[in-house]
Amino acid sequence: MGSPARAATLAPMSDPDPREIDDDGFAAVERSAWIDGRASAVELDMLAREEPLEIRVNQVAIAVVMRTPGDDEELVRGFLLSERIVAGVDDIASMRHCDNVETPEAEDNVMLVRLDPSVQVDLAALRRNMYASSSCGVCGKASIEAAMALPELAQLCDAPGPQLRVNVETLTSLPARLRAQQLVFDRTGGLHGAGLFDADGQPWVVREDVGRHNAVDKVFGWAARERVDFSRCVLMVSGRVSFEIVQKALALGIPIVAAVSAPTSLAVELAREAGISLVAFVRDRRLCVYAGEHRIVAAPTS
């Protein structure tokens, strides 16, 4: 947004209803702009929406995620898959927003999931009375051991046939391709982006959310519904790469994870253990490969 405009008089700030928001992922909020140590003007700012979404599976509340409303079914579907609560989309019999909530604030913020009767899940063990965030993980060693126990690991590392390989020039083009579809970020500057791309850099899907994990889960939820082959995809994220992002990619069998910013040490460790290619600092015709360099194809020499 541009520099705040000066005003002759400073109007009092109102206390807007935080629920006076549209369906495009942002809210209009007044702010007081200060310049050179003095209040200058009251302006209308566009902020990313953030609201809790409670996920109930077979009437049991298992998680609350702080998310940008929109694409909630994709988010929940991707969450259930990447957390290995279900093995595939066919395990989900139905999904809908709860229309019988206790308070107006909970409207559209509770998702009811019913699993297929054949699916056996220990819901009591899954129940989480917390917000899903990067601060709620267990210790690194235990996390990696748990992640490495996933059956997808053997499929990813020992899959028959040629593994996915992507040209480095294609990878360096992904940030711009991702950014071009971050429409809500253009208005707010406050959302993470994630996208699935094919080996030629063409996007399958791009999603935005106030939480980087949620953006990834929304992408996964859409792609799973459309039966996209995850083993032929690159996951691109707009920020850093945490352990949880790599863990989610592993759960879906995605062979390449790329990011605009830095990876964490635990993300690199898991990627190397799992055989995932991890590429970071992807920008301006350069990138850094932290794991799985065999999938990166060098540019032809002139």
List, for residues 69-86, the tens digit of each pLDDT value: 889 999 999 999 998 889
CATH architecture entry for 153-297: 3-Layer(aba) Sandwich (3.40)
The yes-or-no verdict on residue 136 having pLDDT over 60 is no
Tell me the CATH class for 51-138: alpha beta
- Spacing of C-alpha 121 from chain mean position: 24
Contact 202, 181 (CB under 8 A): no
- The SS3 of residue 195 is strand
**Quick one: average pLDDT of 213-234?**
95
Positions of E strands within 176-228: 192-197, 203-209
**Minimum mean pLDDT among 62-71, 179-188, 217-226, 283-292: which range?**
179-188
Residue 1: predicted pLDDT: 39
Spatial CA neighbour of 275 closest among 290, 292, 260: 292
Active-site positions read 136
Low-confidence winner among 19-33, 108-122, 123-137, 197-211 (lowest mean pLDDT): 123-137
Query: Whats the size of the chain, residue-wise?
Result: 302
In 3D space, the residue among 276, 294, 16 whose CA is nearest the CA of residue 155 turns out to be: 276
Residue 59, SS3 per DSSP: coil
Question: Tokens in use for 4?
Answer: 């705040």
pLDDT confidence of residue 200: 95
Residues contacting residue 114 through CB under 8 Å, at least 6 positions apart? 57, 58, 92, 93, 94, 95
CA distance 300 to 206: 29
pTM beyond 0.85: the answer is: no
Ordered by start, the domain boundaries in the chain are 1-49, 51-138, 153-297
Binding-site positions: 281-286
Instruction: Annotate 112-148 with DSSP letters as a single string.
Output: EEEE-TT----HHHH---SB-SGGG---HHHHHHHHH
